[in-house]
Structure 1
């Protein structure tokens, strides 16, 4: 899952390591490499003694006030002298020039992975702010510093709006009504069946409602799932009122102590006025507790755009991404929450009813950075 993006993030880490871990004697302000003794002098000369003394007293590390007071350290960017002094005391300074090319490559990699532009820019800015002027002990790796910066930047955009879905179900008055929306063919009905099984595994009963009343074969499709899972299905004849179907399901749940109503709706585009009017009527008649947007992770930028459009039109509460197991890019998973302000709640990861998992931003970031299988 998301292997392509994972490889590109690892490339960024390698690029920064190659740029930042070159010794200070390989750089100079005029672009020429000084002779090797210059670095040695910096390592054993008075400046290094002063830096060591400063370190011993809790100050004087690279970028500290003591360093800034040195004539050679004036200006916004660390000078060659500062780099040499830092290197002599076992530290390395990350500079703008170290990040310029790697950040450009990272931006291209994110966009190629279908990460939305504003999300990519936010990630880059967070990485830049985290790393510029930072120092590290030489016994640590620059890769670890890069990984920490990427971790924080990715988590900041992915975790927007997250809430504990199971706690929301547990604490809400029953029955909890959840309506599913999205375009045709993205797996809404299958996601409803999967979520019904996920809820059953946690002790919650559910009833399915087919509000997709206009599509030929819709009743048969959801009934097949209901029969396999031994769930009650509320359905009307083709062409019936979707709001009435979901309303009847709520009535059934109240009368039979069912915990959750899972209501399917017709696949729709935000530009379809009739279908959007149906969704608005369901909102008025039923007042669902949650409206979940469903789309395919492999749709990338299209899924991000649709999520924004559906949220504008119908105020979604969260999203489910299907086919996440087939997505090597990860752009939709990274972008949707930041763009809509609403969280991704579940990932569909296969064909079976058990192939659904709670979306865990921390775990996803660990996967992308190679910390989790």
Structure 2
């Protein structure tokens, strides 16, 4: 039983709707479909699940229509695909002239009744599903097991039975041969025994005892020599000896440099060795401003090539045929088919994969573009390649523009009004640059007038606390308390190594609230997405402390690995959280963006898989090398040949 069937235009006008059962209106699920699938360019699959409903949809790109059917997801309705195809064909054929003359708004202003046609198509679809023969369980004779059994029982003239016979013959011959060989050996042994018995009869008892004693000692000596030979190998110690370093020591306290009494004080690492100009990079920048990511593209040259290629065929035509062909082209009567787009989409897919987009996501993007363009009438003087490329660019820009924009400065000011610190947690795999980009974000927040408390919750990696302490010293050197009315702008909160990270984060947030800090940045240990104990600890930290923002830090160098990391991080946070609505990743920090040239596909992969925005982009080694994502610049780099 269908819950609803609706037909609406891409502009949002509902042309016709059928309500099958009494219940909630179709507005909420259809709006969710538009927000999550149609606007986000995720049309690779024609099915969408919303709460207890399954929605299937079909796009008509020629008349800009969308056909949507909804039913309970616990039901298996085999006729839905046929129904939506039949309704689509019947509706557009019946009202083709009205759409061409008046458009969707003109059809809405008129009076039309499509209910009778729909009910007829629904009955036909249901009857066709009943007419189809139900699947019957195979008999034993039809199964592969019975065929194998029969083949084993019946002997044919095939090669295998012959081989078996040959093998049997060979086995028999081998047995005969072994018996023939064994017979003389037995005979020779018997002869030896007889000859030995004859010799023994000639010797006396003392001589026989002496001879047997000598033979016994001789055998014993041979066995001793054999057992002595492997002794040197057995004495070797198994395994590799551990290397002992000159400065190494088994005592963990000797290697723990997090104590401020040893080398953690300001006197141990003087700030005078730090060069502020090198840390700031560009001197002409505006303090506190987060610049957009920039990229120079060669779109003008590419457009000239497309225009030249598209103008060549029109020059060859002459006479009336060429004139009428030109006028026909101005109107635009060429509609795109799947066969026209497949070669171009295949090249586009390979191009995206070469630019570090995950293979699975590249396939889904091309499928979404194909569904969006199929049946659409091409514009004037446009080629299939340019049309597909433009549609793909629009889809990529739409993906990079998030559903929810994260404005950190606005949220920090809102937390200030409520007299509480704004808490940001950084998580990710090992070696992606969490601590480094945390320091960059701290510098950006300080330049905007906010005080920062850094919570050192990476209690596992050696040197993690020292790294954050060094960043804290350098940030205080760049922004001393004297420049901010005697107020310390950045401070490190740490408890050494081996402690509970969730407890340290809780104490840091409480300390920041008491001391009046505006922002708390929580640094966590790097962990692989498959490590269940560490993912459980991260979920505990987030569940206990409830941070305002959870940022996933990922490298721009990764390809397919980005999908695996984000999916498993989100899944682990959901599985290990005890809350009814688990806290997942809120945004992404993309690091090492300056090392990839134009292979920016990781940005697409991460945003597509999570629907979360890329909040910050790391572009260098200084504190100022932090950018916000510019969707058009990333797409321009991605589409560059």
TM superposition score category, shorter chain reference: 0.7 to 0.9
- Paired residues of 1:12 and 1:106 also in contact (CA < 8 A): no
SS at 1:208 equivalent:
strand
Q: Corresponding residue for 2:474? A: 228
User: Structure 1: any 5+ residue segments left out of the alignment?
Assistant: 27-35, 49-82
Q: Give runs of aligned pairs for residues 201-240 of structure 1, distance below 5 A.
A: 201-230=447-476, 231-240=490-499
TM-score by length of 1: 0.74
Query: 1:170 and 1:361, CA in 2 relative to 1: closer, same or farther beyond 3 A?
Result: farther
Higher relative contact order structure (alpha carbons within 8 Å, sequence separation ≥ 6): 1
- Paired residues of 1:348 and 1:355 also in contact (CA < 8 A): yes
- Paired residues of 2:589 and 2:617 also in contact (CA < 8 A): yes
- Paired residues of 1:16 and 1:146 also in contact (CA < 8 A): no
Q: C-alpha separation between the residues in 1 aligned to 2:432 and 2:407?
A: 22
Q: Corresponding residue for 1:136? A: 379
Give CA-to-partner distance per residue, 1:96-135, whole Å, 9 cap, x none: 4653322211111111222123432343245443486433
**Aligned with residue 275 of structure 1, among 522, 534, 543:** 534
Q: C-alpha separation between the residues in 2 aligned to 1:281 and 1:244?
A: 10
Q: Corresponding residue for 2:507? A: 248
Deviation at 1:144, TM superposition (A): 7.1
Q: CA RMSD in A?
A: 3.4
Q: Corresponding residue for 2:90? A: none
User: Is 1:289 equivalent to 2:548 in the alignment?
Assistant: yes
Q: Which moved more, 1:111-120 or 1:126-135?
A: 126-135
SS at 1:311 equivalent:
helix
- Paired residues of 2:406 and 2:613 also in contact (CA < 8 A): no
Query: 1:109 and 1:363, CA in 2 relative to 1: closer, same or farther beyond 3 A?
Result: closer
Q: Corresponding residue for 2:270? A: none
Deviation at 1:191, TM superposition (A): 1.0
Q: Kindly name which structure, 1 or 2, has the bigger radius of gyration based on alpha carbons.
A: 2
Q: Give runs of aligned pairs for residues 71-110 of structure 1, distance below 5 A.
A: 86-87=328-329, 89=330, 93=334, 95-96=336-337, 99-110=341-352
Deviation at 1:365, TM superposition (A): 2.8
User: Is 1:192 equivalent to 2:438 in the alignment?
Assistant: yes
Aligned residues: 318
Give CA-to-partner distance per residue, 1:57-96, whole Å, 9 cap, x none: xxxxxxxxxxxxxxxxxxxxxxxxxx66523x47584644
User: Is 1:183 equivalent to 2:456 in the alignment?
Assistant: no
Query: 1:208 and 1:142, CA in 2 relative to 1: closer, same or farther beyond 3 A?
Result: same
Deviation at 1:233, TM superposition (A): 0.3
SS at 1:250 equivalent:
helix
Q: Corresponding residue for 2:406? A: 164
Q: C-alpha separation between the residues in 2 aligned to 1:102 and 1:147?
A: 9
Deviation at 1:176, TM superposition (A): 1.0
Q: Corresponding residue for 1:306? A: 565
TM-score by length of 2: 0.45
- Paired residues of 2:456 and 2:492 also in contact (CA < 8 A): yes
User: Structure 2: any 5+ residue segments left out of the alignment?
Assistant: 1-292, 477-489, 574-583
**Aligned with residue 23 of structure 1, among 293, 299, 313:** 313
Query: 1:143 and 1:14, CA in 2 relative to 1: closer, same or farther beyond 3 A?
Result: farther
User: Is 1:335 equivalent to 2:605 in the alignment?
Assistant: yes
